Amino acid sequence: MADFVARGEMPEILFWVGCAGAFDDRYKNVTRAFVQILEHVGTKYAVLGLEESCTGDPAKRAGNEFLFQMQALTNIQVLDGYGIKKIVTACPHCFNTIKNEYPALGGNYEVIHHSTFLQQLINDGKVRIAGGGAFKGKRITFHDSCYLGRANGIYEAPRDVLAALDADLVEMKRSRANGLCCGAGGAQMWKEPEPGRKDINIERTEEALALEPAIIASACPFCMTMLSDGVKNKDREQDVKVFDIAELIASAEGLNA
């Protein structure tokens, strides 16, 4: 972002990478895939790079409102310093926090989740996957992220994106507004679960595997971790893959890094 400013330019969008997108080895691949799509369609984008910091979502969900607001107010200073208006992110938690909770603290931006952004690219014809690409006819099931779905009512965008692959989309019984959480939300990602019969990600993975999909698609870094762990736990890594929708699109467009 600083480079843009040095050149006296403004990007069309700020790509908010998020901590998982920046640090999680698996999700870095999603970040790269999304950036490749941005390059491919020629969107002028920027990232904050080292100036980005946690949105404060995990702190807020864990009850640490103080730490959340520290993060939020600091981030708002940075974003406003650059005059950012439009933010795209591949993380539903960052999306929800910046979109819904930053305004009360003075940060007002147009915030778009990458599923909606990709949907627009497809609708505008900027991404056309000829004949569905490598995923044509493959059995794919989509897992709704709570913070995308119930929290913000975005159910169709990721499904529209997957529909462009011309794949065999199958729905789990618990989907859309009735979707079952992967188990990572509310800061569960960073702690051990409370005592119980089963882990939530196993329950959800079992539901997905019952459909015998080739691919479980997600649109959230935490869901991806939980479902990947679930698939591993069930010894199905060989035949069932967990991918983010951006990876599927990048791959279908032949943009593999």
Partner 1 sequence: MISNIIFLLVALAGIGLFVWQLRKIRHNIKLGRDKNIAGDTSERLNKLLLVAFGQQKMFKRPWPAVLHGVVYIGFLVINIEVLEILIDGIFGTHRALSFMGPVYSALMAVNEILAFLVIIACVIFLARRNITKVPRLTRGPEMRAWSRLDANIILVVEIVLMLALFAFNIADLKIFAQRGEELAGSFPISGLFVNIFGSEVATLETIRTTGWWIHILGILAFLNYLPSSKHFHIIMAFPNVYYSRLEPKGQFTTNESITHEIKAMLDPSYQVPALPEGTEPQKFGTKDVEDLSWKQLMDAYTCTECGRCTDVCPANITGKLLSPRKIIMDTRDRMEEKGEHPAIFQPNHYQEMGEERVKTTEGKTLLRGYVTPEELWACTTCNACVEACPVNIDQLSSIMDMRRYLVLEESAAPNALNIMFTNIENNGAPWAFSPSDRLNWADNLFLADKAVS
146-185: contacts with partner 1 (CB under 8 A):
146-147, 150-153, 177-181, 183-185
Nearer to partner 1 among residue 65 and residue 239 (C-beta)? 65
Instruction: Tell me phi and psi for residue 247, to 5 degrees.
Output: -65, -40
List the one residue from 12, 26, 41, 63 that touches partner 1 (CB under 8 A): 63
**Distance of alpha carbon 19 from alpha carbon 76, whole angstroms:** 17
Pairing of strands 13-16, 86-89: parallel
195 belongs to the binding site for partner 1 (CB under 8 A): yes
Rounded to whole angstroms, what are the CA distances from 76 to 31, 44, 102, 205? 22, 22, 8, 37
35 belongs to the binding site for partner 1 (CB under 8 A): yes
What is the H or E stretch that residue 13 is in? strand 13-16
133 belongs to the binding site for partner 1 (CB under 8 A): no
Query: Within 13 Å of residue 19, how many CA atoms lie on the same side as its CB?
Result: 11
For residue 173, the 8-state DSSP code is S
List the one residue from 13, 15, 37, 56 that touches partner 1 (CB under 8 A): 56
120 belongs to the binding site for partner 1 (CB under 8 A): no
**Distance of alpha carbon 157 from alpha carbon 88, whole angstroms:** 14
Q: Which of residues 231-250 bind partner 1 (CB under 8 A)?
A: none
In one-letter notation, the amino acid at residue 165 is: L
94 belongs to the binding site for partner 1 (CB under 8 A): no
Q: How far is the CB of 101 from partner 1 (least distance, A)?
A: 6
193 belongs to the binding site for partner 1 (CB under 8 A): yes
Percentages helix, strand, coil for the chain (3-state, rounded to 5) are 50, 10, 40
Count of residues that bind partner 1 according to CB under 8 A: 76
Nearer to partner 1 among residue 164 and residue 218 (C-beta)? 218
* Residues in Cβ contact with 222 at an 8 Å cutoff, skipping those fewer than 6 apart: 20, 93, 145, 182, 184, 185, 189
Q: How far is the CB of 240 from partner 1 (least distance, A)?
A: 21
List the one residue from 8, 125, 192, 235 that touches partner 1 (CB under 8 A): 192
List the one residue from 5, 43, 69, 133 that touches partner 1 (CB under 8 A): 69
